[in-house]
Amino acid sequence: MNHLVQAVESDNFQIMRVLFVSSEVFPLIKTGGLADVAGALPLALARLKTDVRLLMPGYPQALEAATRRKVVADLGNPLGAGPARLIEGRLADSKVPLLLIDCPSLYGRDGNPYLGPDGKDWPDNASRFGLLGHTAARLCAGESLIGWKPDILHGHDWQAGLAPAYLAAWGGTRPGTVFTIHNIAYQGLFDPSVLAPLELPITSFSMAGLEYYGQVSFLKAGCWYSDKITTVSPTYARQIQIPEQGCGMEGLLAGRAEDLVGILNGTDDAIWNPASDSYLAERYKPGDMIGKARNKAALQRELGLPMQPGRLLIAVISRLNDHKGMDVVIDSLPDLLMRQHCQFAGLGSGDAVIEAQFRALADRHSHHMALHLGYSEPLAHRIMAGADAFLMPSRMEPCGLTQMYALKYGAIPIVGATGGLVDTVADIDVQGETKAGRGFVLDDIGKASLLRAVKRANALFKDKVEWNRTAAANAGLDFSWKQSAQHYIDLYSNLLKRRSGA
């Protein structure tokens, strides 16, 4: 048993307090995997006896969805943004307190948290997420705002990056700080003129601070000013220290290698579990996968695809952009459908050009291809349950959650060899002798290698016994959050020990 678990079970142990800061949290608001993580990891930490509270912007949909709301602090007119309050609620029926920054002038808009209706960044994003960092720092420093101060401030992605910068600027006592990079490609870059309204000292605008090639980088602030940096898989932790994937931050991160750790994300069993998933036509579990075939038939019916059990049904559920390799999917689709006789189900949204290309293909190949452009949580679950194979040819993938959902739902993944995909999907043919393979890994991100991988998948698909054995073995894998949450707790407690000189 780990020392911390032992400690929390003894009477005199003081429970560790953690402030979690995220711009999105499932099920309140979600644009990607960050929301899934921020909705599940705090609950897993709480189950391991951590006093964790979540701070996020008070978007209208989040204020509405939070339960048991009450005002806990008047924030005044922070950063000149207009009146603001802190509202405490609960994340659905969990015990984890949720702190929402209610500042209507900055957050009182429906829709996407980052983009306006024109598809462009909200022009005041520096203020919107500056206030998130500012409020997080206020909860940690000086007089306690809500009668509770954290031992650890844990910020996620660029939107939370300024919190440790404020703490550094203000001086005085502060908690241990941890910053998690979910995707280094999104850096929160702004003109230096934002510094004055954000009330950050001009001295912070330096290489030894939040300056990044002449701009203010919220992501760099999070990395530079935090005691520990984490990212969401061990492979990505290595990749971001080299130019190819470091997006210009590789030097800083390599210099902080001692403080940088990759902790693989988990999946939330309460939400992504074919044995209890209420969206499915029929539930099934690793030991009895017969229901999967019925979900395939139901999905084909729902999507208007011919009910052909013998055709390999390949799915994509993704943000549609080049990072995710969607250009390569588009190049390959005619061959996949017409030469390799696959069916295809696509769910996603994103880049307008890629959306239009998918739409054109779906019009041309409507007999073999179904497409839903947009966002649908229920359909995402039904596609996972109905698909034979799940395609994710990412060029970069810090962790990736969907390939883990696919594994659990018995859809065999076909993935790029990067980031968390390397850490979760071993190739069936390469690992064949040990029977440890879980899917098909592309040699590189291009049409030829994608077609080769699908050809291998099709060959295995013809061997029903072996295909079903692999799918069932994958479905039985344990990706629950417990293990990852324990890694975070160890990180927090080691940091606190280091800071107290113990």
Task: Note the residues at the interface with ligand GLC (CB under 6 A).
Answer: 32-34, 37, 182-183, 232, 265, 397-401, 420
d(CA 290, CA 308): 16
* Contact residues: ligand ADP, CB under 6 A: 32-33, 36, 317-319, 347-349, 375-377, 380, 399-402
Q: Nearer Cβ to ligand ADP, position 32 or 104?
A: 32
Nearest Cα residue to 393 out of 474, 341, 435, 452: 452
CA dihedral 113, 119, 121, 122 (to 10 degrees): -70
Full 3-state SS string of 475-499: HCCCCEHHHHHHHHHHHHHHHHHHH
Q: Nearer Cβ to ligand ADP, position 233 or 458?
A: 233
CB of 104 to ligand ADP, least distance (A): 28
Name which of ligand GLC, ligand ADP, none residue 375 binds, using a CB cut-off of 5 to 8 Å depending on partner kind: ligand ADP
Q: Which residues contact 360 (CB under 8 A, 6 or more apart)?
A: none
**What string of DSSP letters covers 296-312?**
HHHHHHHHT----TTS-
Name which of ligand ADP, ligand GLC, none residue 380 binds, using a CB cut-off of 5 to 8 Å depending on partner kind: ligand ADP
Residue in the shown chain whose Cβ atom is closest to ligand ADP: 33
Helix (H, G, I), strand (E, B) or coil at 260: strand
CB of 206 to ligand ADP, least distance (A): 31
Nearest Cα residue to 336 out of 391, 295, 415, 283: 391
Q: Nearer Cβ to ligand ADP, position 229 or 345?
A: 345
CB of 8 to ligand ADP, least distance (A): 30
CB of 25 to ligand GLC, least distance (A): 12
CB of 407 to ligand ADP, least distance (A): 12
Q: Nearer Cβ to ligand ADP, position 168 or 401?
A: 401
Name which of ligand GLC, ligand ADP, none residue 317 binds, using a CB cut-off of 5 to 8 Å depending on partner kind: ligand ADP
CB of 404 to ligand ADP, least distance (A): 8
Amino acid, res. 20: F
Q: How far is CA 432 from the centre of its chain?
A: 30
Q: Nearer Cβ to ligand GLC, position 27 or 32?
A: 32
Q: Which two tokens stand for residue 261?
A: 């750790």
Q: Which residues contact 453 (CB under 8 A, 6 or more apart)?
A: 414, 440, 441, 442
CB of 317 to ligand ADP, least distance (A): 5
d(CA 407, CA 405): 5
Q: Nearer Cβ to ligand ADP, position 34 or 81?
A: 34
Q: Nearer Cβ to ligand ADP, position 318 or 470?
A: 318
Name which of ligand ADP, ligand GLC, none residue 377 binds, using a CB cut-off of 5 to 8 Å depending on partner kind: ligand ADP
Q: Which residues contact 313 (CB under 8 A, 6 or more apart)?
A: 296, 299, 300, 305, 342, 343, 344, 345, 386, 387, 388, 389
Number of residues that make up the chain: 502
Name which of ligand ADP, ligand GLC, none residue 176 binds, using a CB cut-off of 5 to 8 Å depending on partner kind: none
Q: Nearer Cβ to ligand ADP, position 36 or 277?
A: 36
Name which of ligand GLC, ligand ADP, none residue 39 binds, using a CB cut-off of 5 to 8 Å depending on partner kind: none
Helix (H, G, I), strand (E, B) or coil at 75: strand
Peptide bond into 27 cis (omega under 30): yes
Name which of ligand GLC, ligand ADP, none residue 318 binds, using a CB cut-off of 5 to 8 Å depending on partner kind: ligand ADP
Q: Nearer Cβ to ligand GLC, position 78 or 266?
A: 266
Q: Which two tokens stand for residue 134?
A: 């500012």
Nearest Cα residue to 54 out of 22, 83, 27, 26: 22
CB of 22 to ligand ADP, least distance (A): 12
Q: Are 75 and 85 in contact (CB under 8 A)?
A: yes
Name which of ligand GLC, ligand ADP, none residue 232 binds, using a CB cut-off of 5 to 8 Å depending on partner kind: ligand GLC
CB of 147 to ligand ADP, least distance (A): 35
Q: How far is CA 20 from the centre of its chain?
A: 14
Name which of ligand GLC, ligand ADP, none residue 40 binds, using a CB cut-off of 5 to 8 Å depending on partner kind: none
